[in-house]
Amino acid sequence: MKLIVAKDRDNVIQELMNIIKTVSDESIAKDKVFNIGLSGGSLGSFLATGLPNLKTDLSKWRLFFCDERVVPEDSNDSTYGFYKTTLIGTTNLKEDQFVKIKQGLSAEEAAKDYTEQIRKHFPDAVIPRFDLLLLGMGPDGHTCSLFPDHPILDENDRWIAPITDSPKPPPSRITMTFEIVNNAKNCIFAMCGKEKAPMVKRILQDKEDLPAGRVKPTNGEVYWILDDSAAGDLNK
């Protein structure tokens, strides 16, 4: 685990962009494509600020969703909808580079369909290996739509699982499972603010078994980028 503590939000975004650029450039040099997973929440606003200035070949990016809300694309709750309005036009990313959930399906159907969409992009993989997953952490320790004490945490025969009782609204979502998350080459948590500090301590220092703490790629790296406030409860 690599812990990076940065002064404030701007510095968190800078650290985040530095790692994204490194992994993107390396992946494109090696594979001619960069497979990245996005999350919703405040991570989205970091990307909306940072990506328009990022110097890397965005035309080689394929963007997936670590989790997505099962809502219409034009809903304020749609994670893709957020990225569409903030990144298309401000960057060179094009709509067809986003691997989106299919509209008009139940969570169960959308999860199955999304699994098949992922499979097409990783045709030979036993488990897809993403270059980079960008993750957020809720104040209860959830990440993606993997919530504490939910049976979905132990899902080990699906890459993508549906959830219809998410404690964070909206209730209907699909999410990557730990099977796919922990097969990634790199995962980054990025967060700001003192409301994250108690949970950051419980996970990073007290090593409590909470979903965000279970992100430990078996053959990869996990980064935690925190601002001073989010890191505020950690022992110096």
78 binds ligand 6PG (CB under 6 A): no
- The three-state DSSP-derived secondary structure of 111-157 is HHHHHHHHHHHCCCCCCCCCCEEEECCCCCCCECCECCCCHHHHCCC
168 binds ligand 6PG (CB under 6 A): yes
CB-nearer residue toward ligand 6PG: 86 or 92: 86
DSSP codes, 141-201 = S-BTTB-TT-GGGG--S-SEEEES--SSSSS-EEEE-HHHHTT-SEEEEEE-SGGGHHHHI
Q: Which stretch binds ligand 6PG (CB under 6 A): 41-49, 114-122, 180-188, 201-209?
A: 41-49
Closest CA to 67 of 82, 57, 88, 55: 82
Q: How far is the CB of 32 from ligand 6PG (least distance, A)?
A: 28
CA distance 85 to 73: 11
Q: Which stretch binds ligand 6PG (CB under 6 A): 124-132, 140-148, 154-162, 227-235?
A: 140-148
The owner of tokens 């270059």 is 131
214 binds ligand 6PG (CB under 6 A): no
CB-nearer residue toward ligand 6PG: 28 or 111: 111
Q: How far is the CB of 228 from ligand 6PG (least distance, A)?
A: 17
In terms of DSSP bridges, do strands 67-69 and 173-176 run parallel, antiparallel, or are they unpaired? antiparallel
CA distance 236 to 234: 6
Binding test (CB under 6 A) with ligand 6PG, winner from 11, 14, 18, 42: 42
CA distance 12 to 3: 12
CB-nearer residue toward ligand 6PG: 67 or 131: 67
Three-state DSSP class for 100? Answer: coil
Q: How far is the CB of 44 from ligand 6PG (least distance, A)?
A: 8
Binding test (CB under 6 A) with ligand 6PG, winner from 24, 27, 56, 143: 143
CA distance 177 to 86: 27
* Cis amide bond preceding 72, omega within 30: no
Q: Which stretch binds ligand 6PG (CB under 6 A): 48-56, 102-110, 115-123, 141-149?
A: 141-149
CA distance 74 to 84: 10
Q: How far is the CB of 185 from ligand 6PG (least distance, A)?
A: 20
CB-nearer residue toward ligand 6PG: 30 or 216: 216
63 binds ligand 6PG (CB under 6 A): no
187 binds ligand 6PG (CB under 6 A): no
Interacting residues toward ligand 6PG by CB under 6 A: 39-43, 67, 79, 136-138, 142-144, 168
